[in-house]
């Protein structure tokens, strides 16, 4: 399995490329390509995440290259938000994502939080099921989709929204 470390500013271009391939490409087991045709994230947004003191971006490295990433954003009430989760499409379904998620949960527990939450596009049923198999449960909360924030593209449907999932870390 890969090693995981905290991202550095120099990682931003590689991470942007990875996230775009993972979210908008056709090669992995799950993609948003049928829902959205934008660029997902740009370098300025990634740098902002990396430099935000309330956010920790983690990178997974295998064979000297970045093969995955995620972010943990500290929230109030002993929670973190898990997001910007991406795995190289050719490594999806090979256990890398499961490993990165487990490492993120371990990092969250070390931060002293008791709950990890995430927001997943409601139409991505296969991804929601994947998270549920890893102990995440829908909270019943939904959030609007940020159509206004799409970069160089748009949504392919107008009914997108997020469902919130969470998992207790049992700390």
Q: Determine the pLDDT at residue 14.
A: 98
Q: What does the pLDDT look like over 69-84, one tens digit per residue?
A: 999 999 988 999 999 9
Q: Which of 72, 58, 68, 80 is nearest to 19 (CA)?
A: 68
CB 84 within 8 Å of CB 30? no
CB 161 within 8 Å of CB 107? no
Q: Determine the pLDDT at residue 77.
A: 81
Q: Determine the pLDDT at residue 159.
A: 95
DSSP string across 27-51: SSS--STTTB-S-S--HHHHHHHHH
Q: Determine the pLDDT at residue 117.
A: 98
Q: Determine the pLDDT at residue 169.
A: 96
In the chain, where the domains are located: 3-168
Point out the residues of the chain with pLDDT beneath 50.
none
Q: Determine the pLDDT at residue 65.
A: 96
CB 72 within 8 Å of CB 108? yes
Q: Determine the pLDDT at residue 171.
A: 56
Q: Determine the pLDDT at residue 24.
A: 76
Look up the CATH number of domain 3-168.
3.40.630.30
* H or E stretch covering 22: helix 12-24
């Amino acid at each position: 399995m890969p090693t995981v470390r905290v991202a550095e500013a120099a990682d931003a271009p590689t991470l942007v490329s990875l996230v775009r391939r993972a979210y908008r490409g056709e090669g992995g087991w799950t993609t948003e390509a049928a829902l959205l045709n934008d660029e997902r994230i740009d370098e300025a947004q990634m740098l902002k995440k990396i430099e935000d003191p309330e956010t920790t971006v983690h990178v997974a490295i295998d064979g000297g290259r970045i093969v995955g990433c995620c972010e943990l954003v500290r929230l109030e009430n002993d929670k973190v938000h898990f997001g910007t989760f991406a795995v190289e499409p050719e490594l999806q379904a090979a256990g890398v994502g499961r490993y990165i998620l487990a490492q993120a949960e371990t990092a969250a527990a070390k931060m002293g939080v008791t709950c990890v939450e995430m927001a997943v596009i409601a139409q991505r049923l296969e991804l929601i099921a994947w998270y549920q198999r890893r102990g995440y449960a829908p909270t019943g909360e939904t959030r609007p989709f940020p159509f206004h924030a799409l970069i160089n593209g748009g949504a392919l449907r107008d009914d997108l929204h997020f469902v919130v999932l969470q998992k207790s870390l049992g700390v």
